[in-house]
Amino acid sequence: MGGLAVLLSISLYLVLAYRAIKSTKASRIKWLVVAVVVLLPTADAVVGRVYLKYLCAKEGGLKVYRVAQHVDGFMSDTFWDGDYWLKKYGFQFSESPPVNGRVTRYSMQNGKLITEKNVRSKSMYRVRYVSNGDTYVRAERRVETINGDEVLASYKGFSFHGGWAERFLAAFTDAGVGNVAFCDRDPSHSAKYEVAQVVTSSLKH
């Protein structure tokens, strides 16, 4: 049904465009109508992709605002916690996000992973994923103070949902409106890479 709606929408636009061009008598105005017909569904998509490149160049990538020293551990909402930060980067502990004010804490004792559940957090910093925006979506991995009033480091990426015509047609599909363009980046820069970058650049133990 969605595919049929897309085809009908495109067909209707082409019919209306053809009638608008055909009904225009003056040649100069006709060329203007042709230009409008071509640019109307595409202009903001092109401009949007140019602006996306600007956002990526100006705000994207790794930004470090402050480096905290002597950090034993931190709270993280990543799904690969456990001993990851302990074994790979030498932190003494990592904690899960709180549930009812309590966290799960991971630490190493004599080479053995210790898991403490339902304990009070002792972290001063946390790693968090933040995503917001509509036409332009900002995806940010950040290190911040535990109360969220200061960001120490962030790794930002941006994506674009397309021009109005792309969003309109995508609304008829099962997947709905999605990203059509992203910041150009090294394919090795996965979510884990980005989180590791913000942590190791701003938290020193």
Residue type, 90: G
Whether pTM exceeds 0.85: no
Q: Which range (13-22, 43-52, 129-138) has the least confidence? A: 13-22
* Mean pLDDT to the nearest integer, 74-101: 88
- By CB neighbour count within 10 A (0-12 exposed, 13-18 middle, 19+ buried), where does 83 fall? middle
Q: Which two tokens stand for residue 76?
A: 């993280």
CB-CB contact of 159 with 136 (8 Å): yes
pLDDT band of residue 2 (cuts 50, 70, 90) is very low
* 3-state secondary structure at position 113: strand
What's the N-to-C CA distance of the chain in angstroms? Answer: 57
pLDDT bin (cut points 50, 70, 90) of residue 93 is: very high
Q: Would the pLDDT of 130 be above 70? A: yes
Strands 93-95, 73-76: parallel, antiparallel or unpaired by DSSP? Answer: parallel
CA distance 170 to 165: 8
pLDDT, average across residues 27-36: 58
Greater pLDDT, 102 or 81: 102
Query: Mean of the per-residue pLDDT values for the chain?
Result: 80
Query: How many CA atoms within 13 Å lie on the side-chain side of 37?
Result: 19
pLDDT of residue 71: 96
CA–CA separation, 95 vs 120, rounded Å? 10
Q: Residue 140 pLDDT more than 90?
A: yes
Mean pLDDT calculated for residue range 23-27? 64
**pLDDT beyond 80 at 28:** no
pLDDT at 1 over 50: no
Q: Of 120, 127, 132, which Cα lies nearest the Cα of 148? A: 127
Burial degree of 148 (CB within 10 A; 0-12, 13-18, 19+)? exposed
